[in-house]
């Protein structure tokens, strides 16, 4: 399986091959392609220093349940002019692809131009604090603001995640949030070797090992609450939890015959999201 930045470059190649073979891509893939191009171009301009943590210190920190990367550790200092450009570019793509009013795109541009405000939004988002008051101040939805912040920080986060990957100890973490950035998972996979279940971070694409039967959102281990469904080919699974009514999709790599690029699977499996929502579950 391809990991790191090369995985994202590979996704761009694959989207290009599809468009060549089948003509214009569906709009959601076109938007993803534009956004990922912007992000990978920025990724090429970001170089992060090697981590200050030793392997032993990282081991102990993970053992205490503390993710490796704090917001203030980003780069440091974070290249704010680059983050502003990314935010502006992502705002245009996301506002257009989600059918926002022109006023929403204008509001996001105002945030991009106001560095102090952008820094506040990024810091709050990273720490998992609500963006409600900031979004209300500008008359946009929390979700749109969060998605734009996430898109703007993505190149920085993957640069750090790659640098920190050598410090991850899969045996010592096994929690429901990302060991690098503390983000939530939004996709899972079962490994080819032993069918172990891994989670993929929604923010930095880090992968970490997790329990097969435990909810990655509320930690429930109740056999009565947890279940999963597989599709006909057995390649995809939908894990549900009746305690918190959340679901997570998974790709079973033991059943994969072609190359699987996990970040792209988020979009390829949109049909499973629709089924889960129809069954009364929400994305975790």
| Torsion angle, alpha carbons of 181, 183, 186, 188, to 10 | 50
Piece in contact with Zn ion (CB under 5 A), picked from 87-95, 146-154, 180-188, 229-237: 180-188
The answer to whether 47 and 159 are in contact (CB under 8 A) is yes
Min separation Cβ 220 and Zn ion, Å? 5
Q: Minimum CB separation from Zn ion for residue 156, in Å?
A: 12
Query: Is residue 265 helix, strand or coil?
Result: helix
Distance CA 115, CA 104 (A): 18
**9 or 202: whose CB is closer to Zn ion?**
202
Residue 244 binds to Zn ion (criterion: CB under 5 A) = yes
Residue 206 vs 269, nearer CB to Zn ion: 206
**Residue showing tokens 């929690």:** 175
Tell me the C-alpha distance between 253 and 233, whole Å: 12
- Pick one of 73, 142, 186, 243: the residue that binds Zn ion (CB under 5 A): 243
Residues facing residue 246 across a β-bridge: 241, 282
Closest separation in Å from C-beta 181 to Zn ion: 3
Q: According to CB under 5 A, which one of 183, 200, 247, 248 is a site residue for Zn ion?
A: 183
CB of 205 to Zn ion, least distance (A): 7
Nearest one of 180, 148, 160, 167 to 59, comparing CA atoms: 167
The residue (of 92 and 173) whose beta carbon lies closer to Zn ion is 173
- Rounded Cα gap, residues 151 and 80, in angstroms: 14
Question: Residue 207 — φ and ψ, nearest 5°?
Answer: -110, 135
Of the two residues 138 and 184, which places its CB atom closer to Zn ion in the complex?
Answer: 184
* Out of 144, 241, 248, 264, the residue judged to bind Zn ion by CB under 5 A: 241
Instruction: Write down the least CB distance from residue 228 to Zn ion, Å.
Output: 13
Size of the site for Zn ion (CB under 5 A): 15
- The number of beta carbons lying within 10 Å of the beta carbon of residue 220 is 18
Classified as helix, coil or strand, 88 is helix
Site string for Zn ion, 125-144 (x = CB under 5 A): --------------------
Q: How far is the CB of 69 from Zn ion (least distance, A)?
A: 8
Nearer to Zn ion, 92 or 183 (CB): 183
Question: Is the Cβ–Cβ distance between 164 and 49 less than 8 Å?
Answer: no
Q: Considering only residues 149-178, where is the footprint of Zn ion by CB under 5 A?
A: 178
Contacts of 196 by beta carbon, 8 Å cutoff, 6+ apart = 190, 209, 212
Considering the rule CB under 5 A, would residue 180 count as an interface residue with Zn ion? yes
Span 185-224, contacts to Zn ion by CB under 5 A:
201, 203-204, 206, 215, 217-218, 220
Between strands 197-201 and 207-210, the pairing is: antiparallel
Q: Which residues bind Zn ion (CB under 5 A)?
A: 178, 180-181, 183, 201, 203-204, 206, 215, 217-218, 220, 241, 243-244
């Amino acid at each position: 399986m391809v990991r790191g930045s090369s995985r994202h470059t590979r996704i761009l190649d694959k989207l290009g091959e599809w468009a060549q073979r089948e003509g214009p891509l569906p709009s959601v893939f076109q938007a993803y392609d534009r956004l990922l191009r912007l992000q990978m171009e920025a990724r090429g301009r970001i170089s992060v220093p090697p981590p200050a943590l030793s392997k032993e210190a990282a081991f102990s920190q993970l053992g205490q349940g503390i993710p490796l990367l704090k917001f203030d550790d980003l780069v440091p200092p974070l290249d704010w002019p680059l983050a502003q450009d990314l935010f502006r570019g992502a705002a245009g793509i996301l506002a257009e692809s989600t059918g926002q009013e022109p006023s929403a795109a204008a509001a996001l541009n105002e945030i991009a131009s106001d560095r102090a405000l952008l820094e506040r939004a990024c810091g709050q988002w990273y720490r998992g604090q609500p963006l409600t008051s900031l979004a209300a101040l500008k008359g946009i939805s929390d979700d749109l603001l969060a998605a734009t912040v996430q898109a703007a920080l993505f190149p920085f986060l993957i640069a750090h995640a790659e640098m920190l990957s050598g410090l991850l100890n899969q045996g010592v973490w096994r929690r429901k949030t990302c060991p690098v950035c503390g983000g939530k998972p939004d996709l899972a996979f079962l490994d080819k070797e032993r069918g172990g279940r891994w989670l993929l971070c929604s923010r930095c694409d880090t992968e970490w090992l997790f329990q097969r039967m435990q909810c990655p959102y509320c930690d429930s281990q109740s056999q009565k609450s947890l279940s999963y469904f597989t599709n006909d080919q057995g390649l995809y699974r939908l894990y549900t939890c009746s305690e918190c009514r959340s679901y997570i999709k998974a790709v079973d790599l033991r059943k994969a015959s072609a190359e699987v690029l996990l970040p792209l699977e988020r979009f390829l499996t949109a049909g499973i999201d629709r089924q889960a929502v129809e069954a009364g579950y929400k994305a975790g």
